Structure 1
Amino acid sequence: MSGSIFDLYKVDTITPYARMLREIWMGKSLQPIVIAGGGKEARLYIDAARVLGADESSLDEIGIEVSRLNARLLSYAIGVDIVYPSIPTDLEEVSMAASTGMVVVAGGLHPGQSTNATSALIAERVNAKLFINATDVEGIYTSDPRVHRDARLLKRVSVNELLSMLGRERFNAGTYELMDIVALKIIQRSRIPTRVVKADPQVIKDVIDGYDLGTEIVSEE
C-alpha cells in the first residue's frame, strides 16, 4: 500500500482504505495481507538522518520503523476485532499471522529491501492468489507520467521487459520506484499474479473483482 495514503495531519485519509479492506475480509472470503509504505514521513526522517551523517543501512532501518508505525495506524482503522494484533517483523511472523485467517498488516522487514520487494516476498511465502501494488499513479508507464505528458500506460508488461528498463537504476533509501529488480525476480521465480494500480479503494476492490485495471505484470512473454 502506497505510503502516500498516510498523512499524520489528515489521518481520515486512511479510513476509506480500512473500510475497503474490512469489506473484502468480511464479504468476499478473502484474507488481505497489507504491507504499508513509509510515505512522506519516512522520507522526512531519512533526509534528516542523512544530513546528520547516517549511513544507508541505518536510513533503511528508519524507513522500516516508520512503515511499521503506518501499519499500526491502518490496523487500528480496520478494526482490532479482525486484524492480527501485532505487526510482523519477519517472514516467520507473517506466516504465523496469516495462519490465523485474520487481516494482516505489516511494514518493512529487512534493511536494503523496498516495500515492493518485501511485499513480493510475503506474497511468495503465503502463496498469494494476487499481488496488488497500490501506488500513486495508475500503473506502469513508458516513462514518468508526472514529467512526460506523452507517457503511455502499459496494460500488460513482462518481467523481462521491466528488468531491462530498471537494469541501470540506482536505489537509495526512500527513493524506490514502482517495482525494483528484487521484487521482479521474486515475481518471476514464483509466477505471482501481479498488478500495479492506483492506490484508490474502489480501484483495488475492482481489481480483486476481476476488472482489468492498471498494469498486469506477467512472468513470461
Structure 2
Amino acid sequence: MSGCVENSKLSFAMDAKPAYQRILLKLSGEALMGTSDFGISPEVMSFLAREIKDVVASGVQVALVVGGGNIFRGEGLARAGMDRVTGDHMGMLATVINGLALQDAIERVGVPVRVQSALRINEVCEDYIRRKAVRHLEKGRVVVFAAGTGNPFFTTDSAAALRAIEINADLMLKATKVDGIYTADPKKYADARKYDELTYDEALTKRLGVMDQTAMVLCRDHGVRLCVYDMGRPGALKAIVMGDKTIGTRVHG
C-alpha cells in the first residue's frame, strides 16, 4: 500500500487470545485519500478492509467512526464565510459517503457490515440505535458509525468518544500517519520525542493535539482507554488488540 510501512506482518502465537473483546477505531477522512489530494483511494480501502478482517477473525468486535475531511470539511468553509451549521451538516453527509465506501470494501473481503447514521438517511443506511448497534457487534458484524453525533459544532473525534462510551468499547484506537503521540510534529522537528504512555490530563495540559478537547474530556471522565497508532503499518491493528503495548501511544485516565 502506498504510504504504508513496507514490513512483514507481525506474527502471533496460534493459541493467543485477544486482549480486548470490543474496540472502536477512529479513522479520519484524510486517511482514506492515500497519496491523493481528494477523494477515496481504493488501495487504502482494500488495505483497511484486510486489517479489519484479521481483527474480526480473531474474535474481536469492531466498530468504526469515520471523518469526512477527504470530501468536505464544514469548519474550513465556515471560516471562508459559509454558515457553520450548513457546513457541518454537509460534512456529516460526507462521512456517510465514506461509511458506505468502507462497508463495500470490508464486505468484499467477506465480513458483514452495517452503517448507522446519526442523521436519518433510511434509503442508504440504518439510523443509529445503540442497542441495535451492540446486537450487530455481538453477531460478528462490523458497525460503521457515520454522520458524527448528528449535531453541528461537534467533531468526529467527539463522535468516536461518545460511541465508544455508548457501546462500552474496551479500547478506542485513533489511526494516524505517525506511530504515536509526539512532543511536536515529528515530520517538522527532528528532536520530537515519542510518548509511550500519557494521561488525558497530561495531553490536555500540554496541548498535544491528540483529539479535540471535548473528546479527550469525555474519554477521561468515562475511563475510555485510547491508543494512537500508525494505520499504515501492516499488522499493527491486530498486534494492538492481541495485547502488544510496544505499538503506538497509550492514553488513559
Q: Compute the TM-score of the two structures, normalised by the length of structure 1.
A: 0.83
Q: Distance in 2 between matches of 1:216 and 1:154?
A: 8
Runs of 4+ deviating beyond 4 Å: 45-50
Q: Give the structure with the higher percent strand.
A: 2
* 1:105-124 equivalence runs, <5 A: 105-107=144-146, 108-109=148-149, 110-124=151-165
Q: Give the structure with the higher percent helix.
A: 1
- Flag structure 1 segments of 5+ consecutive residues without an equivalent: 170-176
Specify the alignment match of 1:99 in structure 2. 135
Asked whether the equivalents of residues 50 and 59 of structure 1 are also in contact (C-alpha less than 8 Å), the reply is no
Asked whether the equivalents of residues 139 and 197 of structure 1 are also in contact (C-alpha less than 8 Å), the reply is yes
Q: Does 1:186 align with 2:218?
A: yes
Q: What amino acid is aligned across from residue 66 of structure 1 in structure 2?
A: A
Count how many residue pairs are aligned between Structure 1 and Structure 2: 206
Q: Compute the TM-score of the two structures, normalised by the length of structure 2.
A: 0.73
Specify the alignment match of 1:199 in structure 2. 231
Q: Does 1:159 align with 2:185?
A: no
How far off its partner does 1:98 sit? 2.5
Q: What amino acid is aligned across from residue 214 of structure 1 in structure 2?
A: G
Q: What amino acid is aligned across from residue 72 of structure 2 in structure 1?
A: A
Evaluate the alpha carbon distance shift between residue 199 and residue 4 of structure 1 in structure 2; reply closer, same or farther with a 3 A threshold: farther
* 1:79-94 equivalence runs, <5 A: 79=107, 82-84=112-114, 86-89=115-118, 92-94=128-130
Asked whether the equivalents of residues 196 and 216 of structure 1 are also in contact (C-alpha less than 8 Å), the reply is yes
Q: Does 1:20 align with 2:41?
A: no
Asked whether the equivalents of residues 175 and 229 of structure 2 are also in contact (C-alpha less than 8 Å), the reply is yes
Evaluate the alpha carbon distance shift between residue 4 and residue 79 of structure 1 in structure 2; reply closer, same or farther with a 3 A threshold: same
How far off its partner does 1:48 sit? 5.4
* SS state at 2:251 partner: strand
Identical columns (%): 27
Q: Does 1:62 align with 2:90?
A: yes
